[in-house]
Amino acid sequence: MRDLAANLVQAASAKRVMIATAESCTGGLVSAAITDIAGSSSIFDRGFVTYSNEAKTDLLGIPPSLINQHGAVSEDVARAMAEGALKNSRASISVAITGIAGPGGGSVEKPIGLVHFATSVKDSDTIHFEKRFGNLSRDEIRRAAVKAALEALLERVETMAAK
């Protein structure tokens, strides 16, 4: 995980890209992984830990109606989180993570281990993907989500033009 975060910091530094995160089920672990790397202050603007629905609304500008209609763990909310992180930061790229880490809270439609991700690039598009990590432990789901988020950020940064 540390090597992945270091590769992200190096790639973002080379492209002069600023990153923001919007995290729910990972509770700031993606931000922590990035800021554990020396030199990350030049590429990391801020992290939003929006664990509650109210925080998603207050900090990221997500309409409560969107959360009510689709649920906090959904493609629509993940996309809105990523876009809200860009709008409320100096970043040019963001990642959002919202999911069900368990051990409770799952359902047939939204089982434990379901995590929605989105990356958004300023003046470009927002890309969504979901992972179903299965009924692992809370810690395993959160770690797997952090890894997937870092990989997604690195992939997007590598395709961006240098600033």
Q: Give the pLDDT score at 162.
A: 74
**pTM above 0.85?**
yes
Query: Coil, strand or helix: which one is 119?
Result: strand
Q: Using alpha carbons, select from 37, 40, 3, 4 the residue that is nearest to residue 20.
A: 40
pLDDT tens for each residue of 18-63: 999 999 999 999 999 999 999 999 999 999 999 999 999 999 999 9
Question: 120: closest CA among 144, 94, 143, 101?
Answer: 94
pLDDT at 161: 79
In the predicted structure, residue 163 carries a pLDDT above the cut 90: no
Phi, psi of 115 (to 5 degrees): -135, 130
Could you please report the per-residue DSSP string of 49-109? E--SHHHHHHHH---HHHHHHH-SSSHHHHHHHHHHHHHTSS-SEEEEEEE--SSS---SS
Domains in the chain, start-ordered, CATH in brackets? 2-159 (3.90.950.20)
Tens of pLDDT, residues 100-155: 999 989 898 999 999 999 999 999 999 999 999 998 999 999 999 999 999 999 99
Write down the pLDDT at residue 21. Answer: 98
